[in-house]
Structure 1
Amino acid sequence: MTSRHNQVKKTVAALGMVAGAMAFGATTSDAADPIKIGTFLSVTGPASFLGDPELKTLELYIEELNANGGVLGRQVELIQYDVGVDSKKAITAVKRLVSQDEVDVIVGGSTSGATMAVIPIVEKSQVPFISLAGAVAIVEPVKKWTFKTPHTDKMACGKIFEDLQARGLNDIAMISGTGGFGKSMKGQCEKLAPAYKINIKASESYGPKDTDMTAQLTKIKGIDGVQAVVNAGFGQGPAIVTKNYRQLGMTAPLYQSHGVASKKYIDLAGEAAEGVRLPAAALLVADMLPDSDPQKAVVQTYTKAYSEAYGGSVSTFGGHAYDGLQIAVAAITRAGSTDKAAVRDEIEKTSGYIGTGGVVNMTPEDHLGLDLSAFKMLEIKNGNWSIVK
């Protein structure tokens, strides 16, 4: 943890305790109550690679907002609960955010499992909720009070299949995590495959605690005609798959999901990651974008601010939190108040927002607002990202 991170007032509350609030400079002389933004994130545990940059991003930009006078002349207060990867803790946290903390909007939910678990609560409570998780089921079908910023698993399948088509590869195998995201992406790929003329010849899976996927990959290796392998998963599992893949001498192209779109995946997989392809946001290749790309200035500015505050590389996951916060703040500003129904309506009207994940155009029928053009197909070369031309 950097010294800057220590200096930022924050709450990383255990669920057995009442969460404190971060006021970032608010004083007792403030004329108006603060605007309360609630969040529940996987700050610790196996999904901390998601929650840690998300929390840091929210802290960084809320501090900046307050330094510049807040929103609607009011300070912004972040109330945060660390739920790890426990959906039950997520439910407890969101109930607390809604009923006890009385937040105005929720920006959070690092994992698909945690997000799906709390949707019934936010829908019943009628609190605007912007999720930071990937599963398409979060927004399809549309739920009135629920939105999201990350590209969906369905989009990831589509982007991967486009690339497979371009390479003349049609016969594939899949290996998937058994968690919420892995199951969801596997299902979405199976549904989309016929439209792209992709034939899934085999499908294997691994659990969140598995440390060796050699047996599953050996089965795939023994199947004739497999031209590529797609791994639907996130966390350490895909890195293990990648290492085992190379150890077995498998040479067919290996694709990962956007769920590993951070430098941590490359670090964990090491040299075995060379040549792996995955769809990801432009944030990872900010300096490689042409000057004509409308996202370039946004992702470069975010990268600079985050790196200066915390050091290290940025991840798309922190970028999702940035987009969620900006969309929420813009909606509150347009609404001119924190009236929940008005803010919800303004989130739904988000149009032309240029973020780290793409250009967002939401509608009553689309609570994500991104299409496949928001994804870049990346390939790992010499231990770093490169854009597939």
Structure 2
Amino acid sequence: MKKLIAVCCMGISLLSATALHAAGTVKIGGLFAVTGPAAFLGEPEKRTLEMLVNQANAKGGINGVKLEAVIYDTGGDATKAVQLATRLIRDDRVAVIVGPSTTGESMAVIPVVEKEKIPLISCAAGIKITDPARKWVFKTPANDHVAAEKILNQMAKQRQNKIALLTVTDGFGSSGREQLKALAARKGFRIVADEVYGPKDTDMTAQLTKIRGIKPDAIICWGTNPGPAVITKNVKQLGIKTPLYMSHGVASKKYIELAGADSAEGVMLPAGKLAIYDVLPKNDPQVKLLREYDQAYRKSFGSEASTFGGYAYDAFLLITGALKKAGPGAEQIRNGIEQASKLVSVSGVFTMSPKDHNGLDLSAFEMVRITKGDWALVK
């Protein structure tokens, strides 16, 4: 009889908990660089998360659970990101955090979420964020070695062997530089120049003049705006005809705007499919979702959706998929994210595992060439 009573009490307790969750709210934290040099990343991420939360709540939430986005502006500052992550967890009681926008911020926040056991879905690309895999840490941009490999594969097709590197000295640039050098060595390319620049540098003619004298087959610039836009202008000003490749860190129209269509003409880079969905084959599994996201974003904010906002979209789908599959608790959400399989989203088709907390491969990117101020698919 005692056992029967215990079982009944447990059943009532579980039903009560389910009812509480159904009537309650799941808080999603957001850490985005809405202002500062990385605002071109953080602003569309913030807007996208807010838009998707509003859309979900308008439809009754996820399995009856309403969502609330609690978002803070980090300004791209790692110290501030750590402070705000702590605030989200301890004061706001979020169940999961999306962001930060940059690699440096994300690496700084990781110890906080690991200690507090709250899942983090970073919107930054640095491979060290999820390699090696950490229990509570995921990210949605494809690993930078995937983008690096796309560039080198294109260079191999063009028989370009001698590479000049020009990378920014922040977390994103340092990680990209490391991956490029490792992959180049394995694939038989020669690094003939290895130059760097600071995130706040406003002129790179000295590095480019040195590179011009070495006569490489191609130049690879790895960074996020405004630096790459400055470099693109400098290349044009110096009359350098060497093919210029950029990283996926500039895969938005903002880069073309900053560099100028004339200077950016012919620049190639790996880009997520959002930038070029209108020229993709109609049977591509992402096309429908990409079109719907772009149209919804344009309707809400009067501008096209960007690849960077897509990182927050991916995180939202991973979170809501986990809510449906596993439940609203922090550990349930973490487990549900890790179980994501063949999840079609903006940045690609995600399949996570205990050993892979990024879940994307080479198919996440297409090589594009800037042609007359717009993207063109490299065949």
Using the size of structure 1 for normalisation, the TM-score is 0.91
Contact 1:263–1:313 under 8 Å retained in 2: no
Q: Which residue of 1 aligns with 2:11?
A: none
Q: Work out the number of aligned pairs and report it.
A: 358
Cα distance in 1 between the residues matched to 2:178 and 2:248: 16
The alpha-carbon deviation at position 314 of structure 1 amounts to: 1.9
State the alpha-carbon separation in 2 of the partners of residues 62 and 124 from structure 1. 27
Aligned residue type for 2:23? A
Offset at residue 34 of structure 1 (A): 1.1
Which of 1 and 2 has greater Rg?
2
Matched, 1:363 2:353: yes
**Matches of 1:352 and 1:290 in 2, distance apart?**
19
Corresponding residue for residue 304 of structure 1: 295
1:72: Cα distance to partner?
A: 2.6
Measure how far apart 1:133 and its partner are: 0.5
Q: How far off its partner does 1:155 sit?
A: 1.1
State which of 318, 332, 342 in structure 1 corresponds to 2:332.
342
Q: Partners of 2:192 and 2:22 in 1: how far apart?
A: 64
Aligned-partner SS, 2:342: strand
Which residue does 1:145 correspond to in 2? 136
Q: Determine which of 184, 199, 214 is the counterpart of 1:208.
A: 199
Shift of 1:31: 7.6
Deviation digits for residues 125-149 of structure 1, max 9, x if unmatched?
1111111001000010100010010
Counterparts of 1:230-241 in structure 2, within 5 Å, are 230-241=220-231
Picking from 213, 218, 225, the partner of 1:228 is 218
Q: When the two structures are superposed, what TM-score results if normalisation uses the length of structure 2?
A: 0.93
The answer for the alignment partner of 2:233 in structure 1 is 243
Does residue 283 of structure 1 match 2:279?
no
Give the whole-Å Cα distance in 1 for the aligned partners of 2:320 and 2:253: 29
The CA deviation at 1:32 is 2.7
Aligned partner letter, 2:149:
G
* Gaps in structure 1 of 5+ consecutive residues: 1-29
Residue matched to 1:165: 156
In structure 2, what is the equivalent of residue 191 of structure 1?
182
Kept in 1: contact 2:22–2:64 (CA 8 A): no
> Aligned match of 2:77 in 86, 94, 113?
86
SS for the counterpart of 2:214 is coil
Letter in structure 2 aligned against 1:59: E
Q: Which runs of 4+ in 1 moved over 6 A?
A: none
The aligned counterpart of 1:19 is none
| Distance in 2, Cα, partners of 1:245 & 1:314 | 29
Q: CA RMSD in A?
A: 1.1
2:121 alignment partner, SS class = strand
- Quick one: which amino acid aligns to residue 107 of structure 1? V
| SS of residue paired to 1:73 | coil
Matched, 1:71 2:45: no
Note the alpha carbon deviations across 1:333-375, whole angstroms, 9 max, x for none: 111x212222211100100101111111111111011101111
Q: Distance in 2 between matches of 1:82 and 1:299?
A: 26
Partner of 2:101, secondary structure, is coil
2:115 equivalent to 1:124: yes
